[in-house]
A and B are shown apart, each in its own frame.
Chain A
Amino acid sequence: GAVVSQHPSRVICKSGTSVKIECRSLDFQATTMFWYRQFPKQSLMLMATSNEGSKATYEQGVEKDKFLINHASLTLSTLTVTSAHPEDSSFYICSARDRGSEAFFGQGTRLTVV
């Protein structure tokens, strides 16, 4: 299957700083990318959907000024957690689709805010 690479896999940051997470589709062009957050023992919660070259569509309750999403090319999307706080500590996962019916997922990023 297609490969989606997410970086970094783990990051620890201080409260109040910003963290950027990258998501790359390595062998296909990702028309659409999705960002999810997953808390322990819970399912993936969709945060936002982004299409290449346009603004992301955020799910209800997700602050767009706090979680900045950029989908500048067909192979790269970034999620920046701005002014991170301990409650933002979570497992963040990206996913990418071309025009087909499968979604491919990155390996996830464990964010810990201290």
Chain B
Amino acid sequence: LAKTTQPISMDSYEGQEVNITCSHNNIATNDYITWYQQFPSQGPRFIIQGYKTKVTNEVASLFIPADRKSSTLSLPRVSLSDTAVYYCLDIGGSGGYQKVTFGIGTKLQVIP
């Protein structure tokens, strides 16, 4: 059973900022919040990961409140190539043995 919930789909126009929110109601103390992007017929690609507060890299920002029950992936100025499915996951940081399970993901459609 997936540990996270997120909207099934979102639409956005090119050039806009997109925020995708995920609920982590069952997150464990050692879990890291991790987001992946998947294009059709490809494996998921790591986007960003965080434990709490804000993390930013060259492609996205991740906002995590103090209670860690939610997270928001922020994609600045999306382009058509950002059309994909985005998954939020809780991944255990205490060792590599814990399994990694996916929820349904959010299908982002970027409109010209």
Do A and B interact with each other, yes or no? yes
Q: Which of A4, A31, A94 contacts B96 (CB 8 A)?
A: A31
Range of interface residues on A (Cβ < 8 Å): 20 to 34
Cβ of B44: which chain A residues have Cβ within 8 Å of it?
44, 93, 105
Closest to B89 in A: A103
Cβ of A101: which chain B residues have Cβ within 8 Å of it?
32, 34, 49, 91-93
Q: Which of B12-20, B67-75, B98-106 touches A?
A: B98-106
Interface residues of B in 1-53 (CB under 8 A from A): 2, 32, 34, 36, 41-46, 49
Q: Are A49 and B96 in contact (CB under 8 A)?
A: no
Q: Which of A14-22, A61-69, A77-85, A106-114 touches B?
A: A106-114
Q: Are B43 and A6 in contact (CB under 8 A)?
A: yes
Count of interface residues, chain B, beta-carbon cutoff 8 Å? 25
Cβ of B105: which chain A residues have Cβ within 8 Å of it?
43
Number of cross-chain contacts by CB at 8 Å: 68
Q: Are A98 and B96 in contact (CB under 8 A)?
A: yes
Q: Which of A6, A95, A103, A105 has the most CB of B within 10 A?
A: A103
Closest to A32 in B: B96
Q: Are B103 and A102 in contact (CB under 8 A)?
A: no
Q: Which of B34, B44, B102, B104 has the most CB of A within 10 A?
A: B44
Q: Are B103 and A91 in contact (CB under 8 A)?
A: no
Q: Which residues of A contact B (CB under 8 A)?
A: 1, 4, 6, 30-32, 34, 36, 43-46, 49, 51, 91, 93-95, 97-108, 110
